[in-house]
C-alpha cells in the first residue's frame, strides 16, 4: 500500500515524491516546471475547467449541463493537486475569452495537471521498484 502514498504526496505537491526518494534535481525541475506552467497559464488569462456548462433557458433559469469533454478538462486540472486549490482559493484562472492568449493559457494549465499525474506515477513506480515501505 505504501507506494500509493508516494503517488498521493507527489500529486498534492509536484516533485515532493521525488524529494522523498532523494532525487533532488528531479524534484526541483518538476516543482519549478509545473509552477512555471501554472503561473504562465494564469498570466495568459487561461481558465480552469468546470465539469459543466451553465446555460439559461427562456425563463432565465440557469441549468448545469455536464459534458464529457469538460469533465476530461476538469480531471486534467485537478491533477495539479494543491496548486489547483490555492489558485481557485485566490480567485485566479477564471479565464478571459477576449484575451488573445486565452486558449494557450488554458492549455498551459491543463497540461501542467496532466504532467503532474505523470510525475506522481513516476514517484509511485520508483517506490514500487525499490520496495519502499518506510512512509
Position of cell 488569462? 45
- Do the Cβ atoms of 38 and 110 come closer than 8 Å? no
Total residues binding another protein (CB under 8 A): 23
**Residue 34 binds to another protein (criterion: CB under 8 A):** yes
What is the grid cell recorded at 83? Answer: 496548486
Q: Compare residues 60 and 129 and give the one whose CB is closer to another protein.
A: 129
Question: Of residues 93-112, which lie at the interface with another protein (CB under 8 A)?
Answer: 99-101, 104, 107-108, 111
CA pair distance 30, 13, nearest whole angstrom: 10
The residues that bridge with 52 in the sheet, in sequence order, are: 66
Of the candidate spans 4-12, 21-29, 53-61, 71-79, the one that interacts with another protein by CB under 8 A turns out to be 21-29
Instruction: Cite the beta strand spans of the chain per DSSP E.
Output: 52-56, 62-66
Which residues contribute to the site for another protein (CB under 8 A)?
A: 25-26, 29-30, 33-34, 36-37, 40, 43-45, 99-101, 104, 107-108, 111, 115, 118-119, 122
Amino acid at each position: 500500500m505504501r507506494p500509493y502514498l508516494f503517488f498521493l504526496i507527489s500529486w498534492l505537491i509536484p516533485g515532493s515524491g521525488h524529494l522523498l526518494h532523494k532525487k533532488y534535481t528531479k524534484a526541483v525541475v518538476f516543482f519549478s516546471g509545473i509552477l512555471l506552467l501554472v503561473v504562465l497559464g494564469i498570466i495568459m488569462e487561461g481558465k480552469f475547467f468546470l465539469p459543466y456548462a451553465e446555460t439559461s433557458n427562456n425563463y432565465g433559469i440557469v441549468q448545469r449541463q455536464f459534458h464529457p469533454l469538460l469533465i476530461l478538462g476538469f480531471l486534467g486540472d485537478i491533477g495539479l493537486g494543491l496548486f489547483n486549490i490555492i489558485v481557485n482559493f485566490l480567485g485566479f484562472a477564471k479565464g478571459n475569452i477576449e484575451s488573445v492568449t486565452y486558449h494557450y493559457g488554458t492549455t498551459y494549465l491543463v497540461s501542467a495537471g496532466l504532467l503532474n499525474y505523470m510525475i506522481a506515477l513516476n514517484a509511485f513506480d520508483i517506490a514500487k521498484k525499490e520496495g519502499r515501505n518506510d512512509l
